[in-house]
Amino acid sequence: MALVIGLGCLLLAVALGAFALMLRPRASAAGSLALIETSYSAAPAASAQDDVQSPGWLRLLGLRLSPSGVAMRLQHRLDLAGNPPTWTPDRILAFKGMGLLFGAALGAFLSFRSAGWLVVGIAAGGGFGFFLPDLLLLNAGQKRQEKIRRALPDAMDMLTVCVEAGLGFDAALAQVARNTHGPLAQECARVLQEMQIGKSRNEALRALTTRTTVSELRAFVSALAQAGELGVPIAAVLREQAREMRLRRRQRAEEAAQKVPVKILFPLITCLFPAMFVVIIGPGIISIARVLTGL
């Protein structure tokens, strides 16, 4: 009797487990892609003790003073900056409102002596504080894109070697993401994740071009898309793109070297020449002054 009851309980547990699995919602490809986008664009959830929520009225203040569609533009700039963990569009809008108030208060404190200067100080301080988060976000995005531009020729060489050695493009891209560091490796890993979820190669690579402003990377994605449509061997395309990127890197280095004399001219004039004049002409001026005072 106990054996029958045990078998009955076991069958009931198996039936309940199967029923629960049937009721469990299945993740579709679109849902998984949305999850990837959310994981890259949203900040990770912090603990209740460490998370400091910004007041909602500051975000509303920044939103009211910004043009329409500012949230989408801020999200695009965050994508260019690599989506820093604590940066979200709502927090940036809150910081813009906070910067407006603090900048206006600081400008009023520094120029309270006259009414005219008070208005100018409030306007200048408020405008600077309001646009300061935008400048910081733009600076972060430009630095990240510059890191991608510098790492791209070496990554292209590794990608070319892997493909010519017999690996497929996806496996070669995985090697680049695994053996390199920095923003470019993160973008390669994201492309691989999107391809594994269900996006085609062209769609994943074209999504990459929306998250970067590097012209060389955009040209590389366009060349890959055309090679896939025309049936050109991908190894030849990679070899040509790697050679062109090395050439562009050398040209950028030569251009930067040509700019050095112009950039060093102004510090030379303002810092070195006055000291040289004092050392060279100073004794003569002292001698002339002694002669004139003696007369």
Q: What is the pLDDT of residues 31-51, one digit of tens each?
A: 444 544 555 544 444 433 334
Residue 133 sits in the same domain as residue 60: yes
The answer to whether the CB of 188 falls within 8 A of the CB of 175 is: no
pLDDT of residue 30: 47
Residue 133 sits in the same domain as residue 189: no
Angle, alpha carbons 281-283-284 (nearest 5°): 65
95 exposure class (CB count in 10 Å sphere: 0-12, 13-18, 19+) = buried
Residue 164 sits in the same domain as residue 199: yes
Tell me how many domains the chain contains: 2
Residue 64 sits in the same domain as residue 127: yes
Say which residues have a Cβ less than 8 Å from residue 177's Cβ, sequence separation at least 6. Answer: 185, 186, 188, 189, 192
Residue 258 lies in a domain: no
Q: Closest Cα to residue 224, out of 183, 191, 193?
A: 191
Residue 259 lies in a domain: no
Residue 157 sits in the same domain as residue 197: yes
Residue 160 sits in the same domain as residue 242: yes
229 exposure class (CB count in 10 Å sphere: 0-12, 13-18, 19+) = exposed
Residue 157 sits in the same domain as residue 239: yes
Residue 124 sits in the same domain as residue 168: no
pLDDT of residue 205: 86
pLDDT of residue 143: 92
DSSP 8-state class, residue 114 = S
129 exposure class (CB count in 10 Å sphere: 0-12, 13-18, 19+) = buried
Residue 160 sits in the same domain as residue 241: yes
Domain interval for residue 201 = 148-251
Residue 39 lies in a domain: no
pLDDT of residue 139: 92
Residue 223 lies in a domain: yes
Residue 186 lies in a domain: yes
Residue 153 sits in the same domain as residue 122: no
How far is Cα 261 from Cα 284, in angstroms, rounded to an integer? 31
pLDDT along the chain (295 residues), means of 10: 50 48 43 50 42 66 81 87 84 88 85 80 87 90 91 89 87 88 89 87 86 87 83 85 88 89 85 84 84 75
